[in-house]
Amino acid sequence: MSVSYRQPGVVLTDRHFTVPLDHDDPSGETIELYAREVVAGDKAQWDLPWLVYLQGGPGFGANRFIGKQAWLGRALKEYRVLLLDQRGTGNSTPANRQTLPLRGGPREQADYLAHFRADSIVRDCETIRPAVTGGAPWTVLGQSFGGFCTVHYLSTAPEGLSAALITGGLPSLDAHADDVYRAAYPRIERKVAAHYRRYPQDVERARQIAEYLLRHEPVLNGGYRLTAEAFQSLGILLGGGEGSHRLHYLLEHAFVRTAQGPALSDAFQEDVRSVLSYAGHPLYALVHEACYGQGDRPTAWSAERVRAEFPQFDAAKALTGDGPVLFTGESVHPWTFDCDPALRPLRATADLLAERDDWAPLYDPVRLAANEVPVAAAVYHDDMYVDTEHALRTARGIRGLRTWVTDEFEHDGVRAGGPRVLDRLIALARDEI
């Protein structure tokens, strides 16, 4: 049963849907999807077109807005918005260390999780669209991984779309995960260098912390093992507009004096745990590299293998000289599962996903080249999470797609500058500018 309630300026309705786990077996097992319908309070009775939002990730539920925050206020001027918790996330049927053992062992869990990529998410959207819109096509707004889903949507079910808006999420149509990470590590190095130029005092702080971790390897509250490599992955913050500042403020209170000598402060440890823990979004770690899988070539822990080609990211080697300790970015490694108690029981499952060699293709270049859906995409210059060159090559392969390339925002531009970003994309898609 749907339940409606109010927040300042908006009316919200909880929506629940049942969809097949495997859309190729529609009479088989089902899972539940949750979505939150949002409409402006003064338009609650209006017949409005629909916009469905696909969150970044993978593995994150849709934003929990209060009122008309970020881009939502602009969208509500003319749309009803459906904030979809993609399968396995938010209030949809969860996939985590607590629920996955219900599937059986690691093999059964990996087979189950193979249904949690962009292809299944788009088929979910097409399954629920008739119940939401009465069969009318809708506009999709895809952020980051949500943009990957949107390009798959354009490849497989463009008839369901009236327009497609993409922010920081144009994937390569044919790159293997290795290609993605070979492009990513130099980009991450540039982001780290920019951070150290802004906050030169952090060079020595990061070296001191890494040296301490190589000697002590503390266990944080909740059982997270903080290794030097895990510490380096705090660089994921550098992909956001405020990320460099957040990282700096985190590092500045790393140590306290104790009776036994300098130690990592409780406050620092708790802040680090809150950034690094996957307890709230384990699906991100489990299927992150699988989202690049196409064809018979396994991803095989790509980020870890490719990292070995960039020895400057080795913290221990950096500490033997006077160079900086480099942070890393959006990547998942085998040791990620060893460090994080929310992931530790799922390590064998993750290994099996990394070995999988039967991934279905995600994108159809021929169909995209004949696209007739209005599409607009914000491409953030030197985006740390999505390679700009890959994104622009894909943009050229989608007929009629209009790009807005900007260095005004980082990867989180739709949140940080939401009303302006969404307004410009809508105008581009409508050929108004």
User: Does position 104 have pLDDT exceeding 80, yes or no?
Assistant: yes
Do 348 and 212 sit in the same domain of this protein? yes
User: Which pair of tokens denotes residue 18?
Assistant: 């049942």
User: Does position 362 have pLDDT exceeding 80, yes or no?
Assistant: yes
Do 391 and 242 sit in the same domain of this protein? no
Do 272 and 305 sit in the same domain of this protein? yes
Do 298 and 404 sit in the same domain of this protein? no
Looking at 301, 331, 355, the residue that finishes a domain is 355
411 noted as active-site residue: yes
Q: What is the pLDDT of residues 255-287, one digit of tens each?
A: 999 999 999 999 999 999 999 999 999 999 999
Do 306 and 380 sit in the same domain of this protein? no
Confidence (pLDDT) at 217:
87
User: Which pair of tokens denotes residue 339?
Assistant: 């460090």
Do 218 and 316 sit in the same domain of this protein? yes
Q: Which of 92, 120, 144, 172 is catalytic?
A: 144
* Tally of domains within the chain: 2
Quickly state the pLDDT bin for 368 (edges 50, 70, 90): very high
Average pLDDT of 116-120?
A: 98
Q: How far apart are CA 36 and CA 81, in angstroms?
A: 8
Cα dihedral value 315, 320, 322, 324, nearest 10: 0
Peptide bond into 101 cis (omega under 30): no
Average pLDDT of 68-76?
A: 96
Do 423 and 367 sit in the same domain of this protein? yes
Question: Residue 372's domain is classified under what CATH number?
Answer: 3.40.50.1820
Q: How far apart are CA 120 and CA 126, in angstroms?
A: 10
User: Does position 428 have pLDDT exceeding 70, yes or no?
Assistant: yes
Quickly state the pLDDT bin for 1 (edges 50, 70, 90): low
Of 90, 73, 58, whose CA–CA distance to 169 is shortest?
A: 58
Confidence (pLDDT) at 246:
97
Q: Which of 176, 195, 281, 411 is catalytic?
A: 411
Contacts for 113 with CB less than 8 Å, ≥ 6 apart: 95, 100, 283, 286, 287, 290, 349, 353
C-alpha distances out from residue 21 to 18, 119, 146, 424, Å: 9, 12, 19, 36
What predicted TM-score, i.e. pTM, was given to this entire model? 0.97
Residue 289's domain spans which residues?
A: 177-355
Do 323 and 246 sit in the same domain of this protein? yes
Confidence (pLDDT) at 3:
87
Do 298 and 267 sit in the same domain of this protein? yes
Contact 340, 224 (CB under 8 A): yes
Looking at 300, 335, 355, the residue that finishes a domain is 355
Looking at 324, 355, 386, the residue that finishes a domain is 355
Do 294 and 403 sit in the same domain of this protein? no
Do 317 and 424 sit in the same domain of this protein? no
Do 51 and 159 sit in the same domain of this protein? yes
